[in-house]
Copies of this chain bind each other. A is one copy, B any other.
Amino acid sequence: MSLALDATAQDLLFREAHTASTFTDEPVTDEQVQAIYDLVKNAPTAFNQSPLRITLVRSEEARRRLVKHAMGANGPKTLTAPLTVVLSVDLDFHEKLPRLFPHAPDIKDAFFSELATREAAGTQNATLQAGYFILGIRAAGLAAGPMTGFDFTGIDKEFFGDGKQKSFLVINLGKPGTDAFSPRSPRLEFDEAATTV
C-alpha cells in the first residue's frame, strides 16, 4: 500500500527517526525553532484555539532551574542538549479566539468562560500540537527527545508564576550525538490497535 507522502519524508519523520538521548554541540537557533513553528502551526486544533506555548530554555541559569524538576536521567540529558523547550498550555487561550476564530467571535464567552473547560480543551489541543511539534523537529532535520519525567507543578511555579500556563512536556532537541538511539521497541500490530464495527 503506497502513501502519497514520499519515502524520504516517511523515513525522515517516522520510519528512520528515533527519540535521541544524546546530542552534538551544534547549536539550535531561534530561526530553526521558528521554522518548525511556522510549519506546524498550520495543523488543526478545535476552533483553531492554538493553546500550545513554547518556552525556549536558553540561559544556563534557566537550564539549571529547569533540571531541578527533572526525574532520573532526564536531568543529565537535558544539561547536555543544545536546546531544551518546555511545552505548556495557555489557560487563557480564549482571549485570542476572536482573532483566531473570527467567523464566530462569540465562542470565547459561549464555550470558554470557565477555567475548567479551558484547561480540558486546552490540554487536549496543546497535546495534539505537541505531536505536530515533535514531527516538526524531525522535519527540520533535528532529533527530538521528548520527556514526561519532570515535576510539572514545580516547573509551573518556577517559570509560570502567574498560574496562567501549565507545562506538560519537555523536549531536548539537536543533532543526535554518540549512541543517541536505543533500538526501536516493538509496536502493536494493526489488528491489536484497530477494530472495525
Which A residues have a C-beta under 8 Å from some C-beta of B?
A: 1-6, 8-10, 12-15, 17, 19, 30-44, 46, 48, 50, 52-59, 62, 96, 99-103, 121, 124, 127-132, 134-135, 138-141, 144, 146, 148, 159, 168, 182, 184-188, 190, 192-197
Contacts and interface: CB of A to CB of B under 8 A. Distances in A.
B130 A52 contact: no
How many copies of this chain are found per oligomer? Answer: 2
Contact of A128 (B1, B12, B134, B185): B134
B128 A197 contact: no
B197 A55 contact: yes
A-B pairs, top 8 by smallest CB distance, nearest first, are: A131-B131, A4-B141, A9-B9, A5-B139, A1-B35, A127-B127, A62-B197, A128-B131
A67 B62 CA distance: 49
Contact of A53 (B32, B101, B134, B194): B194
Given A134-B128, A193-B54, A6 B9 contact: yes
A46 B102 CA distance: 36
Nearest to A62: B197
